[in-house]
Amino acid sequence: MTQPTTISPLIAPWGRFSLYTFFIDAPEPAVVDTGISTTPTEGMIPELEKLGRRVEDVRWILLSHGHIDHLGGAHALWELTGRRAKVVIHEEDLRYLQSRRAHVDNYLGLRANYIDNPDAEAQQTQMASKAISGEMSADVVVRGGEKLDLGGGVTVTVHHVPGHSLGSVAYVVDGQNDAFVGDAVQVHGAANGFPGYEDPDAYRASLEHLRDEVRPARMYMGHPYRTSEGVAYPVELGAEDAMCAITESLEIEARVREAARRAIEHGLATDDSTYSPFRAVAEELGYTGDPTLEPSPFFTTLDGYRRLFGGK
């Protein structure tokens, strides 16, 4: 790479969240993550026009993982490129790109065990239909370790960083070490105020990999994740702030892990609390947010510890 590749954030609102997507201005331009179904037209097109670029120029669609707010706009963006862009996703999350129903099944298989909502299936089905622009397969299915050639000497290395989802990846621009980590670095969570990950051990190992192996010069996260004091990290983090976010994520994971372990070993009890059966964890951590608000990271994460520690 003869000169630095320009990275531009493309920010789009969605409900209580801000979605971060990014434009890599390479000879074969790439977009990292796509937001929901309306993001390409309402967010990307005007933002790219400000940069003097067109959505038709995009040749790569790099998906950090398979959750709705990151791949929902993939089909729409692919269509806007004249179906010329190559869509990339990890094999473990491919099903979420191929099927809206996979998102509904994910909810019913986990959070429906904790949230009493008889309309959950219908609501999740409607949400997936609205927020996901279309079902499709991927042009490039990755496992981690691949190098993607964006032309002109610009390459991107794929790092598998599971935990938040099984197929989470980080895309690292070689030579300048810019890392797009999606939701792999949760810190203290976003709007829900609680970090969300499906597999606690994988999440911790991925954070350690980012800290020890990737060591980003600049890091780009998928949302405005917050410190323990509730202050949102900026959309672009320099090396020092990136290391702070990763380190703080590890510290928070350790606190959640220990609280979950104690509660599970003591014995989980179902009661009328909104946090049931993890009320003791919420009390120990001082968590007072609403755990039922989607995407319900409180229950997603603690279900992972429940499986890890053999909770009944």
Instruction: Give the number of domains in the chain.
Output: 1
Asked whether residue 297 is assigned to any structural domain, the reply reads: no
Residue 116 domain flag: yes
Q: Which two tokens stand for residue 162?
A: 């599971």
Global pTM?
A: 0.96
What pLDDT does residue 312 have? 64
- Name the strand (E) or helix (H) holding 298: helix 297-309
> What average pLDDT does the structure give for the chain?
95
* Residues 180 and 65: beta-carbon distance below 8 Å: no
Q: Which of 252, 249, 306 shows the shortest CA–CA distance to 280?
A: 306
- 312 close to 268: Cβ distance less than 8 angstroms: yes
pLDDT band at 141 (very low <50, low <70, confident <90, very high): very high
Q: Is residue 280 part of a domain?
A: no
CA–CA separation, 142 vs 191, rounded Å?
30
Cis preceding-peptide flag for 295 (omega within 30 of 0): yes
Domain presence at residue 82: yes
Q: Residue 202's domain is classified under what CATH number?
A: 3.60.15.10
Write out the two tokens for 241: 């702030």
Q: Beta strands 169-173 and 155-160: pairing type? A: antiparallel
In a domain, 91, yes or no: yes
pLDDT at residue 18, rounded to an integer:
78
* Residue range(s) defining the domain that contains residue 150: 7-258
Look at residue 295 and tell me if it is in a domain: no
Mean predicted confidence (pLDDT) in 179-188 = 97
Q: What is the mean pLDDT of residues 55-71?
A: 97
In a domain, 1, yes or no: no
- Residue 23: CB atoms within 10 Å: 22
Beta bridge partners of 31: 23, 61
